[in-house]
Structure 1
Amino acid sequence: MDLFYWTLSSIETTEFVITSAKPERFIMKLNTYQKVALSTVAATIFLIFVGGLVRASGAGLGCPDWPKCFGMWMPPISPAELPNNYDLSEFNVFKTWTEYVNRLIGVIIGLLITVTFALSFRYRKDKPKVLYSSATAFVLVLVQGWLGGQVVLTGLREWLITLHMLLAMLIMVTLIYGVFRASVDELRITLPNQKRQWLLVMVAILFFCSFIQIGLGTQVREAIDVLKNMTVSPPRDTWISEVGVVDNIHRSFSWLVLIAGGGILYISRWWVTDAPRIRKIGLIIFGLILLQIVTGIGLYYLGLPPVYQVVHLTGIAFLVAFEFLFLLLVLHADEVPVEG
């Protein structure tokens, strides 16, 4: 069975490998731009994971100021190191360092995107879309840095947190697009016309449904934040049930996502028999949808366990990444007029 995968075994020897049932084995060495951009994609998903930890642990104000933390570039590790003009009750070493690590990863991503942008100039003549997407990611990460400061300075205003997370997703897909355009000749697949059209329709529906679901999910989360921050907060295990109609729509809409994902799985696994990369990614997408549903059920019935929150948020980042990669592969596939 053909397998398609990206490996990052080490930054010096990273290879893009396509293994086939055919005797030949094709290995494409990743250039510096592709290595840095892929590393940035991985770091962005990791940042979304850490952001989930920050939110689930309530560490969003672990550093009450910005860009410094308790007025220091290196935050304190004990109450004794806290500056005199800060309230001791504001300090929690776990929350402070969780938020500080979140900020450090954001800075690292900013540096990586800057390097990615600089390296993309090599493509300005033959593949200008690589430069454009890298430039877009560079601008977006500057906006993201400013927005992160606003989240802290406004005391974790709910809609700003949501915008902060959605912008991280947008940076991620922008970088994926840049890497894909840089590698499009090696990644191009061949699909019969009719199958390609069906796959395009199904993945477009799935992508649209996923973003609607993300929007609904963020509204649920914002409503929960309001309940959590009330002067007299209701019991934690009742928060979701008190959200109301938005959560009902969110849970019901998951059926549409599951059906669309099932359509992708059926077409890619049992109808498209000659595109192993498509089959593999289709299976991954369906598995991630099931993971989202299972963790969503756990969040509802188990009283919002923090670990479920983190997995749920990180899972949607992976799901969007694979959906977008799937869409790009199908969109740029070569067509075969007659099925063989």
Structure 2
Amino acid sequence: MDNSGLLFQLATKGILVALLAFLIVWSSKDRNKYRKLVWVTLFLTFDVIMFGAFTRLTDSGLGCPDWPGCYGHSNPLQAMEHIRAAEAAMPDGPVTVMKAWIEMIHRYLAMGIGVLIIAIVVISWRFWLRSGRTQSQFSPRFPVALFLFVCLQGAFGAWTVTMKLQPIIVTIHLLLGMTLLAMLTWVAARQSDHPVVDRTALRLRVPACIALILLAMQIALGGWVSTNYAALACMDFPLCHGTLVPQMDFQHGFTLWRSLGKTADGDYLPFEALTAIHWTHRVFAFVVAVWIAWVAWRALRIQGLQRIGRALLGALVLQITIGIATVSLKWPLALAVAHNGCAALLVLLTVMLNYKVRIPGRLDEN
């Protein structure tokens, strides 16, 4: 199939995914359909992040080793001959029927998000122009930024496949997905009603921003653990190989530009390098947890932030519990996916907190 026909068929599948979301928005009792569309897109993005984690953790990232289609076709059914041949040659390899479907479903869902974001851009422009460019909540700046960002995310999705799961590319792909979720959360917050927030919330602006930065760094470390398959490099907890500071190879572990499982020189990555990756993620998690817990505790003491503070604290406790259980239970798939999902939830809640602590200042300015 030629590229234009393939892209058309893939776009059709993305539109079908988006149509389901549009149906939810249209049938909603919420009178503000634009706000509902933003929230539904946010929810779908959260789901795609979790499904992306499932794709990565089931080693399905190369289930279809080309892009954007699957052996030049728009779905695995049409490529079954090629998939069966690859599976017969390597039964435990990256290409199987199940892995091909997982990979392509992930692509269909991602395309659906792209269609929804295009709809958000069009509607925001329409509402903004109709309001005489006076209603800032409909400003197209954020939606246009979302569109540009989802295009960038799609490019890294393609490079993830064409560059054969190179760890730095896969990690950036994960970070861009989390950033897209954060941006959608900010847009959704602009469309939503918020309780009155006490002016003391202004004191949390800097701490909340630091919490988001630390969380982003920890997610990057977590992505580096996952993309290097270092989740089981330390099989015990709280120690690692029975000691507080095990033997580690930071030089090879944190060389960013290299192939999967290899050093920059092309040799196999030593186990000490995987230990260094895992240990760093684990230790930095303590720093992030303490800071976010402190920020959430302060939010609990401020009028209008109690609810978000409780949610953030609860998500943090859940994430720590899942992280420990993932190691203790030897990395069960469901818990590993949930660990990624809870990280996305922390991003959502931390971004929402950052928005809320700016409400008093915005109200005074208007």
For the aligned pair, the TM-score class normalised by the smaller chain equals: 0.7 to 0.9
| Counterpart pick for 2:217 among 212, 216, 219 | 212
Contact 1:127–1:181 (8 Å) recurs in 2: no
Question: Is 2:113 the partner of 1:109?
Answer: yes
Measured in 1, the distance between the counterparts of 2:103 and 2:181 equals 21
Q: Which runs of 5+ in 2 are unaligned?
A: 1-22, 231-252, 254-258
Report the alpha carbon displacement of residue 262 of structure 1 after superposing the two structures with TM. Answer: 2.3
| Counterpart pick for 1:169 among 178, 186, 194 | 178
* Pair 1:330–1:30, CA change in 2 (3 A): farther
Report the alpha carbon displacement of residue 128 of structure 1 after superposing the two structures with TM. Answer: 4.7
* Pair 1:280–1:298, CA change in 2 (3 A): same
Q: How do 1:284-295 and structure 2 match up within 5 A?
A: 284-295=311-322
Contact 2:146–2:180 (8 Å) recurs in 1: yes
Q: How do 1:20-39 and structure 2 match up within 5 A?
A: 29-39=30-40
Contact 1:292–1:316 (8 Å) recurs in 2: yes
Q: How many residues align?
A: 304
Contact 2:60–2:103 (8 Å) recurs in 1: yes
| Larger displacement relative to structure 2 (282-291 or 218-227) | 218-227
Report the alpha carbon displacement of residue 30 of structure 1 after superposing the two structures with TM. Answer: 4.6
One-letter amino acid of the counterpart of residue 70, structure 2:
C
Measured in 2, the distance between the counterparts of 1:304 and 1:86 equals 28
> What CA deviation, in whole Å up to 9, does each residue of 1:269-311 have, x standing for no partner?
3x22x32xx2111111111112221222233333322222211
| Counterpart pick for 2:25 among 11, 15, 23 | 11
Report the alpha carbon displacement of residue 89 of structure 1 after superposing the two structures with TM. Answer: 3.3
* Pair 1:221–1:123, CA change in 2 (3 A): same
Match of 2:156 in 1: 147
Name the % identity.
Answer: 24
Report the alpha carbon displacement of residue 314 of structure 1 after superposing the two structures with TM. Answer: 1.1
| Counterpart pick for 1:300 among 318, 327, 351 | 327
| Counterpart pick for 2:143 among 134, 137, 154 | 134
Match of 1:89 in 2: 89
Question: Is 2:105 the partner of 1:98?
Answer: no
3-state SS of 1:187 partner: coil
* Pair 1:30–1:320, CA change in 2 (3 A): farther
Report the alpha carbon displacement of residue 10 of structure 1 after superposing the two structures with TM. Answer: 5.0
Contact 1:76–1:82 (8 Å) recurs in 2: no
Measured in 2, the distance between the counterparts of 1:84 and 1:280 equals 52
Q: Which runs of 5+ in 1 are unaligned?
A: 1-8, 16-28
One-letter amino acid of the counterpart of residue 203, structure 1:
A
Measured in 2, the distance between the counterparts of 1:310 and 1:83 equals 26
> What CA deviation, in whole Å up to 9, does each residue of 1:204-250 have, x standing for no partner?
2321221121122223234336998579999xxx97x7623343232
Match of 1:187 in 2: 194
Measured in 2, the distance between the counterparts of 1:177 and 1:336 equals 17
Match of 2:124 in 1: 120
Measured in 1, the distance between the counterparts of 2:205 and 2:180 equals 23
> What CA deviation, in whole Å up to 9, does each residue of 1:42-73 have, x standing for no partner?
11110001101101111111111111112211
Measured in 1, the distance between the counterparts of 2:78 and 2:346 equals 37
3-state SS of 1:171 partner: helix
Contact 1:220–1:246 (8 Å) recurs in 2: yes
Match of 1:20 in 2: none
* Pair 1:335–1:177, CA change in 2 (3 A): closer
* Pair 1:123–1:176, CA change in 2 (3 A): farther
Match of 2:281 in 1: 250
Measured in 2, the distance between the counterparts of 1:209 and 1:322 equals 14
Measured in 1, the distance between the counterparts of 2:68 and 2:352 equals 35
3-state SS of 2:25 partner: coil
* Moved segments of 4+, more than 3 Å: 12-15, 81-91, 127-130, 225-234, 334-337
3-state SS of 1:71 partner: coil
Report the alpha carbon displacement of residue 265 of structure 1 after superposing the two structures with TM. Answer: 3.3
One-letter amino acid of the counterpart of residue 291, structure 2:
A
Contact 2:211–2:291 (8 Å) recurs in 1: yes
3-state SS of 2:75 partner: coil
Question: Is 2:204 the partner of 1:199?
Answer: yes
Q: Which has the higher strand share?
A: 1
Q: How do 1:36-55 and structure 2 match up within 5 A?
A: 36-55=37-56
Q: How do 1:311-326 and structure 2 match up within 5 A?
A: 311-326=338-353
One-letter amino acid of the counterpart of residue 294, structure 1:
T
| Larger displacement relative to structure 2 (52-61 or 89-98) | 89-98
* Pair 1:229–1:256, CA change in 2 (3 A): closer
For normalisation by structure 2, the TM-score amounts to 0.73
* Pair 1:315–1:71, CA change in 2 (3 A): same
3-state SS of 2:298 partner: helix
Report the alpha carbon displacement of residue 333 of structure 1 after superposing the two structures with TM. Answer: 2.4
